Homo-oligomer: A and B are copies of this chain.
Amino acid sequence: MGERRHAPIIVSVDDERQIRTLHRGPVFDVDIVEWRGRDGTPVEKIVVRHRGAVAVVPELDDGRLVLIRNHRHSLDSWLVEFCAGGVAAGESSADAARRELAEETGYRAGRLDPLGSFFTTPGFSDELMQVFVARDLVAGMPSLEPDERIETLAMDPEELATAIDAGEIRDGKTIAAFRLWEGRRDATSAETST
């Protein structure tokens, strides 16, 4: 692994804020932003500038949801999650959702609908996670990146709800995405029953 320089680059300076970029990467940059607070105190914050992310709730025809067991380098452990990933340059969020679903689980989505979106960690990042539900799934072969270790599983929604209540699902976006999915399901069944 070659030597690389990660010296800060001044990107922007104005009267209010000084922004330096610590790192530029394919999925996000890391900036340091400095300004003065209400009482004149200097404030320094790290901001991960993210190009956007997607998560997918894939519904099988039998009603089960597809999840992945994902080895996370950041934690050096496995998490059960909905498949997700970064939006590539020039890619729409829907295209990214179809691509991540296919790469990580092998499933091709016949139908993809937006469920909502949220910021994953606004305390230090502008990452926006756009969530989709994928239906009319056709099984295929996953195509993992060299650094990915992923296994696919399927769970009944009730089983997933129980696992969340039991603290067995440790991934925040998966809990939030499932909450969006539940809200949509309950709204749809209320419509159907009236």
Q: Which residues of A contact B (CB under 8 A)?
A: 1, 6-8, 18, 20, 22-23, 25, 27-28, 30, 32-35, 37-48, 53, 70, 72-75, 79, 81, 84-86, 116-127, 129, 145-147, 161, 164-165, 167, 169-173, 175-176, 178-180, 182-184, 187
Contact = CB atoms under 8 A, between A and B. Distances in A.
Contacts of A175: 118, 175-176, 179-180
A144 B75 CA distance: 32
A7 B53 CA distance: 29
Contacts of A126: 74-75
Given A74-B125, A179-B179, 17 more contacts: A1-B42, A23-B46, A25-B46, A30-B46, A45-B147, A48-B74, A72-B123, A74-B123, A74-B124, A81-B122, A117-B167, A120-B121, A165-B183, A172-B172, A172-B173, A173-B176, A175-B176
A176 B181 CA distance: 12
Given A20-B6, A121-B127, A145-B37, A187 B171 contact: no
- Chain A interface helix/strand/loop/mixed: mixed
A172 B22 contact: no
A30 to B, nearest CB: 6
Given A43-B147, A176-B179, A183-B165, A119 B75 contact: yes
Contact of A30 (B23, B85, B169): B23
